[in-house]
Structure 1
Amino acid sequence: MSNIFKSNSMKRLILLSFLLITLYSCSNPQNAPMAAAAPQLPVLTISGGTVATDASYPVSIQGTVDIEIRPQVNGNLEKIYVDEGAYVSKGTPLFKINENPYREQLNNALASQHSAEAVLINAQLEIDKLTPLVQNKVVSDFQLKSAKAAYKVAAANLDQAKAMAASAKINVGYTLITAPVSGYIGRLPKKQGSLISATDPEALTTLSDVHEVYTYFSLSETDFINFKNQYAGNSINDKIKNLPPVSLELADNNIYTQKGRIDMVDGQFDKNTGAITLRATFPNAKGLLRSGNTGRIKLSLSHANAVVVPQEATVEIQDKIFVFTVGKDNKVTKQPIIISGKSGTDYLVQDGLKTGDRIVFKGFENLQEGTVIVPEKESPKALAKN
């Protein structure tokens, strides 16, 4: 009994000692886990300035003259003098329509004209015969007046016959279709022997004068205001004269060897798109560009009081771009921003940041919302291009 009592007392003593050691350890601050130190990260302060951006705009390319070649008379296509893609000079024969029906119409019209001429001569002879008789009072002047009226009718009929003959002659001329300008022939959907009509929905071919080409592109209202404000001049025409040459990027991403000039601004904005159309003209002596080509015009636009951030200071998540802003208490916040363009390796910020804001420049990959950081000295990289 005494041994059992001693054993239980020993157990109580050991348990009490363990509890005292545990309580001492928990109450001793030296043994508590240390709080994680705030990360030191480089921080940038946003400043405003004037920034130049290289913007590109899709263009449609057209020849200075793009025309459809259509017949003006109906008939069988008798000859085709050119091939698809050929270069032709102004006045070169392109197509020949069977002229026999129109030649016969011309012959009939000429015969009618000759007949009307003979009738007019007879009417004049009648007047010549009656005039002295009336003067000598052999016949009444009524007959002379009737003869003069018949003469006027004959003259009118002759004029009508001449008009019919001229119209028939024009139709004969229409059977030979020539090139109205110099340029390149397009596709030839009609083949020799086809029956063609002036009302056909499809043209015989197209003809493009591409010694120069027009490139049309559109600017938004904001871009257009920025674009025109950076050049001197009291009017749009004055400003156009001061515009620098522009470059054309082709569909294969190569730059066209010749520079172009902007020479036209549309008279009004498109009410549906809110954009305005501009035209740049490029020389094309070698014919490397054709109507229907596509490309992009490269323009340099100046933006005053712009806010830019380095691309490396941003993170893209689900098609949205974020930066980590730093508050007065050095807490970071994930801030979405809206990008309006690029300038080199920087983003042009439309919304989400303002001058004076601070952002984390690097090392934000593992930052959490609300984390307190220790800002390091700002990067020497300037945000605003002055």
Structure 2
Amino acid sequence: MSELLLSSLLRQALLLSAAVLLLWALHRPLLRLGASAAYASWLLLPLLLLTPALPRPGREPLQRALQAATNADMTELPAVVAPATDHAALWLVLWLAGAAVVVAVQARRQWQLGRFGERLPAGRSPALVGLLRPHVALPADFEQRFSAAERELILAHEQVHRERGDNLWNLLACALTALHWWNPLAWWAARRMQADQELACDAAVLARYPGSRPTYTQALMTAHHLMPARAPLASRWGSSHPLVERITMLNRSRTLPRRRAAALALALLGVAGLAYAAQTPPQAASATQAAQPQKVEIRLNVTSGAFKAAPRLITALGERSSLQWGGTAAQSWRLDFTVTRGDDGKLQVLTQPSYGGKALGEHKGVLASGESFGQRIGGSDGVPALQMTRVVTLLPADFKMPSHESKPRS
């Protein structure tokens, strides 16, 4: 279970990183289309992250169609393999522990901001706070710091945040940075998305108030040194975006025409569709793993009187393998091994020895891959003593079984 969950998280991290790098490369061209286009392009992140959860057809016609259209082999996204079983649980715990710390920090920030209600201390930036019933929180010196015209524009700015539901997108960004706390691309994406959010809001306000650009610019300059609200559910007036760039964007502020908006939406859906088509279905991967059980290697050192041998067995989990030697049937040894894996990832080795056709009980050992354990058998009732040491190791999933059987050598 831990392996499956860790593999899913790693696949999500790969998709998120690919989407952020793509948006980083396209950010400047998108800004030339307008701040609204740059902000809308961040929809690509949730679209790509949702593609693994979408239902898939049995024969993958999308891959076949793309291959026929391009006359080339369709390259699949690389499979993400979780670490070895005995470490997967540890990595998963560390991953989720880091996410829990980030969530706790963000929750504390939101609680501290919520305590102020609708009146923030002086020197704070105005903000739209909350999700279900958001309210505008204004600093105590709001009336003294801004003129009446500036206050009207600031409140219009926060109203645009409310109408667009920007705090919901801020919450999604917070969730992604918490889940991928170790990935610097996730943190950069969250900051860049919120900066584009503010630029898009500026453009929408200026579209509603033509001719207000000088007043709007003055309000931005007045609020530049105010402390912004850093809680996840807070769309603020001030932002981490450089002031010079934000004012520069005011001179290029324009709404996104419907045709360009439709073209951008089709482009985002096209990229998500390509990512969906390139992914290997989890069902197919599971079927392949089920058809090819995990292989294990058993290295032995056996000593019985003058006889010594170091045989090597390769078998599959859950399958019984045998090793036999001796001059006559009455003086021959036989060792039967069955290796399984428990829920904790440890290997469970069942050894069933026999001498001269007589069973000598069974021995169960639990160990991690690569560990060794020893056992002494016989030594009474006419059965010679046998000292045995076993090392059991999991083999790679693509390991090919040898065509010959291993036999002990004296």
TM-score by length of 2: 0.21
Higher Cα Rg: structure 1 or 2? 1
Structure number with higher strand proportion? 1
Output the TM-score relative to the length of structure 1. 0.22
- For CA contacts below 8 A with separation 6 or more, give which structure has more relative contact order: 1
